Every structure is written in C-alpha cells, then in structure tokens.
Homo-oligomer: A and B are copies of this chain.
Amino acid sequence: MVKQHILLAVDNIIFTIVKDKLHVVLIQRAAEPFINAWAIPGGFVHDEETVDEAAYRELAEETNVKNVYLEQLYTFGELNRDPRGRVVSCAYIALIAHKALDLKSGSDAKEVQIFPVDKLPALAFDHKTILSYAIQRLRYKLEYTNVAQYLLPPTFTLTDLQQVYNVVFNKEFDTRNFRKKIDKLDIIKETGETIIRGAHRPAMLYRFKDKKVKIVDII
C-alpha cells in the first residue's frame, strides 16, 4: 500500500523512589551510536506484538518485575532523533516500588542502574527531553489519581505514602493536612498490622483499596 522507511520503537521511563529521591532506570549503551552513553531503556516494536506489549516486553527484559504500572506517555516523532535513521519512539512511563526492582542488563546494555533524577549523567538521543516530559506527567498523575501505590510496596505507612509525594513534588507537605486529605478520599485501608522502624512509636500499615487507577484529587 505505501512505502515508508520509519521504524517504531518504545522507550520506558522507569521511575522508582529510593530513600528521599526520585530515581529513574537507565542503561549504558553497548553499541553505536552513543556507545557507553546512558539512555532510557527501549527497543523496536516487533511485527506481531502491540505497542503496549512491546513496552512490557522491553521492560521485562531490563527489570524482573510483576505488577508494574505502565502508561503511554507520548510519541516522539522528530526527524533526527536517531543518527541511524528515522525512528519514531512511543514512550511509556513505568512505576515500580524499589523493593520490587531487580535489575539485570539485557543484551544491548553494558550496565543497568538507577539514577536520582537530579543527578543524571548525559543522556543519549533526545532522552533528556523525554525524561523531563515524563517527570511532568508523573507529577500530574500523582496529583489526581491513586497511582502512587505503584511506587510503594503492597503495604506501607502513611509516612511512606507522604514521602512519595514529598519526593516527587520536591517539597514537604504538611503531615496533618496530608493525612486528612488521604483519609477523606477513602482510597486506603488499615491492614491492622504495625511496623517498628526504630526507637520510636510503631506505624500502622496500610494498603490501597483499589488497584485500578482511579481519578481522585489528592493534591
């Protein structure tokens, strides 16, 4: 029907939170172009898989994960993104709890590593642009949905949950107001268990009521 010389790729911006920093998974490229440079993991879409499936497959090849949140971010279609030729990339955001993350480098990467988003190495291709866009979207989504759960283990304390927001928005939310808000939204429930994490009062563990992404005004 048509002659076209465009290749379609997917890129996954994999976010996770470590201590008090938002981190992103990057790979060190093992081949030209941009050999040795750090890049967002991704690859070409196969003929017999959907674009979503391609993103899942590529994600699995880099990180051993289940229960990841994956959401299409944007399609980057500029002309000279890739020196090898015309490549259009459909970017996805993945959210994962740090505990669940178990990185192993795939065939096309020397190394896989997480980096705090405020201390990134130079990135290959237009990956810096993609990443900024991803952070924007992440903030946006945390503001009005319950996807924060995917950055947390299945059970967590209210402090953990607030930490996610503090870190992603890079500010200190007020503990009382934050808890009031969460309480009113009715999106989490107590597990009945507590956890002791030091020489102080133990914290109640909670769980999200609904795994499905719901629109809720959190911030």
Residues of chain A at the chain B interface (Cβ within 8 Å): 1-2, 4-8, 44-52, 54, 72, 74-75, 77-79, 84-86, 88, 90
Complexed CA–CA distance, A78 and B48 (Å): 10
Main secondary structure of the interface of A (DSSP, over half): loop
Identical copies in the complex: 2
Residues of B within 8 A of A44 (CB): 2, 4
Residues of B within 8 A of A77 (CB): 45, 50-52, 54, 90
Q: Can you list 26 A-B contacts (CB < 8 A)?
A: A1-B84, A1-B85, A2-B7, A2-B44, A4-B7, A4-B44, A4-B46, A4-B47, A5-B47, A6-B8, A6-B45, A6-B47, A8-B88, A45-B77, A47-B86, A49-B79, A50-B79, A51-B75, A51-B77, A51-B88, A52-B77, A54-B77, A72-B74, A72-B75, A75-B90, A88-B90
Closest to A90 in B: B75
Inter-subunit contact A50/B78 (CB<8 Å): yes
Residues of B within 8 A of A49 (CB): 79
Complexed CA–CA distance, A2 and B43 (Å): 10
Residues of B within 8 A of A1 (CB): 7, 84-85
Closest-CB distance, A136 to chain B (whole angstroms)? 11
Closest-CB distance, A32 to chain B (whole angstroms)? 11
Residues of B within 8 A of A86 (CB): 47
17 new A-B contacts, CB < 8 A, other than A6-B8, A50-B79, A51-B77, are A2-B7, A2-B44, A4-B8, A4-B45, A4-B46, A45-B77, A45-B88, A48-B79, A49-B79, A50-B77, A50-B78, A52-B77, A72-B75, A75-B75, A75-B90, A77-B90, A88-B90
